[in-house]
Structure 1
Amino acid sequence: MNAAFIFPGQGSQSLGMGKDFYENSKGAKELLGNASDFCKIDFKNLLFTQNEDLNKSEFTQPAILLNSLMAYTALLEKKPDLKAKFALGHSLGEFSALAISGAFDFLESILLVNKRGLFMQEDCAKVEAGMMVILGLDDGKVEELCKKARDKNKQIFAANYNCDGQIVAAGLRADLTSFESEFKLAGAKRAMLLNMSVASHCPLLENASAKLCVELEKVLKTNFNPVISNANAKAYTSKEEALLLLKAQLISPVLYKQSIKAYEEEVDFFVEFGASVLKGLNKKITAKETYSLTNLNDIDEFLKVL
Structure 2
Amino acid sequence: MNYAFIFPGQGSQSIGMGKDFYDNFELAKELFHLASDTLGFNMQELCFQDNEKINQTQYTQPAIFLVSYIAHSILQEESPLLAKLALGHSLGEISAVSVANGLSFEDALILTHKRGLLMQQACEGKDAGMMVIVGLDDAKLEHFCQEQQNNGKSIWCANYNGDGQIVLAGKKADLASVEGSLKELGAKRALLLPMSVASHCPLLSSMTEDFTKLIEPMLKENFSLPVISNATTNSYDNKQDAILLLSDQLTKPVLYKQSIQKIDSQIDAYIEFGCGNVLKGLNKRLSQKNTFSITDTTSLKDFLATL
Q: TM above 0.5, one fold?
A: yes
* Identical-residue share of aligned pairs (%): 52
Q: Indicate conservation of the 8 Å contact 1:74/1:296, yes or no.
A: no
Q: Indicate conservation of the 8 Å contact 1:116/1:212, yes or no.
A: yes
Q: Where do residues 106-185 of structure 1 align in structure 2 (5 Å cutoff)?
A: 106-185=105-184
Q: What displacement does 1:75 show?
A: 1.1
Q: Indicate conservation of the 8 Å contact 1:22/1:70, yes or no.
A: no
**1:282 is aligned to 2:283:** yes
Q: Where do residues 251-266 of structure 1 align in structure 2 (5 Å cutoff)?
A: 251-266=251-266
Q: What displacement does 1:33 show?
A: 0.4
Q: Where do residues 1-306 of structure 1 align in structure 2 (5 Å cutoff)?
A: 1-79=1-79, 81-224=80-223, 225-274=225-274, 275-306=276-307
Q: What displacement does 1:76 show?
A: 1.4
1:246-281 Cα offsets, whole Å, 9 max, x none, are 110000000000000100111110000112000000
CA distance in 2: counterparts of 1:209 and 1:169, whole angstroms: 20
Q: What displacement does 1:113 show?
A: 0.7
Q: Secondary structure at the match of 2:6?
A: strand
Q: What displacement does 1:50 show?
A: 0.7
CA distance in 2: counterparts of 1:87 and 1:71, whole angstroms: 14
Q: What displacement does 1:70 show?
A: 1.1
CA distance in 2: counterparts of 1:210 and 1:137, whole angstroms: 34
1:215-269 Cα offsets, whole Å, 9 max, x none, are 1111000010200000000100110001111110000000000000100111110
1:15-42 Cα offsets, whole Å, 9 max, x none, are 0010011111111110110011011121
CA distance in 2: counterparts of 1:186 and 1:223, whole angstroms: 47
Q: Secondary structure at the match of 1:219?
A: coil
RMSD, aligned CA: 0.7
Partner amino acid for 2:23? E
1:108-157 Cα offsets, whole Å, 9 max, x none, are 10110100000000111220100000000000011011111101100000
CA distance in 2: counterparts of 1:9 and 1:219, whole angstroms: 20
Q: Indicate conservation of the 8 Å contact 1:27/1:77, yes or no.
A: no
- Please report the TM-score for the alignment, with normalisation by the length of structure 2: 0.98
CA distance in 1: counterparts of 2:124 and 2:11, whole angstroms: 18
CA distance in 1: counterparts of 2:213 and 2:42, whole angstroms: 26
CA distance in 2: counterparts of 1:232 and 1:264, whole angstroms: 16
Instruction: Could you tell me which runs of 5 or more consecutive residues in structure 2 were left unpaired when the two chains were aligned.
Output: none
CA distance in 1: counterparts of 2:277 and 2:153, whole angstroms: 34
Partner amino acid for 2:105? F
Q: Secondary structure at the match of 2:292?
A: strand
Residues paired across the two proteins, number: 305
CA distance in 2: counterparts of 1:178 and 1:210, whole angstroms: 32
Partner amino acid for 2:240? E
